Amino acid sequence: MPDVLKVALVGYGFVGKVFHAPLIRHTPGLTLHAVVSRDAGKVHADHPDVRVRAQAAEAFADDEVDLVVVASPNDTHAPLALAALAQGKHVVVDKPFTLTVREARDVVDAAARAGRIVSVFQNRRWDADFLTVRQLIEAGTLGRVAEFHSHFDRFRPVVQDRWRERDAPGGGLWYDLGPHLLDQAVQLFGLPETITADIARLRDGAQAADYFDVRLAYPMHRVVLHAGTLVAANGLRFAVHGTRGSFVKHGLDMQEDQLRAGAAPGSTGWGEDPRSGQLTLATEGTVGTRHVETLRGDYRQYYAGVRDAILQGTAPPVTPQQAIEVMRLIELGMRSAEEGRALAL
């Protein structure tokens, strides 16, 4: 196997340009070899040494390419992943993994037949705030968790003319942010017994869902996942309540803003969140509150895990089974919202 894996990135829109390209270039053991885009000038303005291919098939046929990263519109994820696997490439797919569970299983089966790694880009497992919450829960600091609230709210009152906000397969907030929040919940608690979803269009002129409020039921606790686009007071990120106390964290992870600003992943201050969380514990009838410093996040850990899976045979950072599980919840959530009832897994 090569010491450095050559990566072909399919798509150079917001996600490809802002997230994937910088993370690939700043993860040791990976090099950005080619980008599939119809706008060579846009790519070369950022990466003058990278090859630009007009068609994905050209990149898939390149014998030098080891890994393909699919960062194109959601409805192309499964077809492109299947085509790359057919050419013997390892594959990373941006979330959502596919549009349906059936597509997800087709991709996973194709990867197994080809003997190649396939994974979905769940970078928010390495959010600073999520790492902090996970540490507190796993350490038992809060006791047994009774309620877990996860918010990803924004104030974007004007509907934009872009594919993510159109009434088309894979469009809307549930397919955009739902995979992240679901994946984080499943990482903490496993699969729920039931899912109850309210998915709606609340903005004037909205074509696709721009709001969701989803409840996951477990035997002894409840999980609430919420995202809206008309939330001006949008500070809350996590609220966790347990038998020993509560933890509340405000503010989104900083890495997306750092990437937008052009900061190099791994540079000084990367992944650091100056906003601490508030931990309230009740011990022997006494309630005390203290601040908890936020752990450092680093999205490069995802790509480092993919690198190690290919070169060393370790499990990928997001396994095929985990990718399918989230798609099951995405699909059931859509059905629950349409039917107006809780659905069992």
CB 174 within 8 A of CB 152: no
Residue 47 DSSP SS3: coil
Structural domains of the chain in order of their starting residue, each with its CATH number: 5-121+301-316 (3.40.50.720), 124-297 (3.30.360.10)
**Residue 147: HSE in the Cβ half-sphere, 13 Å Cα cutoff:** 9
pLDDT at 161: 85
Identify the pLDDT of residue 4. 95
Return the residue matching tokens 């990566």. Answer: 7
Phi, psi of 287 (to 5 degrees): -105, 125
Calpha distance 252→92 (Å, rounded): 25
Query: In this structure, what DSSP letter does residue 63 have?
Result: T
State pTM to two decimals. 0.95
Structure tokens of 335? 């059905």
Amino acid at 168: A
Integer Cα distance of 134 and 35 in angstroms = 35
State the 10-residue block means of pLDDT for the chain, 345 residues long: 91 97 98 97 97 97 98 97 98 98 98 98 98 98 98 95 86 97 98 98 96 98 98 96 97 97 97 97 83 98 98 97 98 98 97
Q: What is the pLDDT of residue 197?
A: 98
Closest to 157 in 3D by CA, of 201, 203, 226: 203
Distance CA 56, CA 36 (A): 6
Do 12 and 29 contact (CB within 8 A), yes or no? no
The pLDDT of residue 1 is 64
The pLDDT assigned to 199 comes to 98
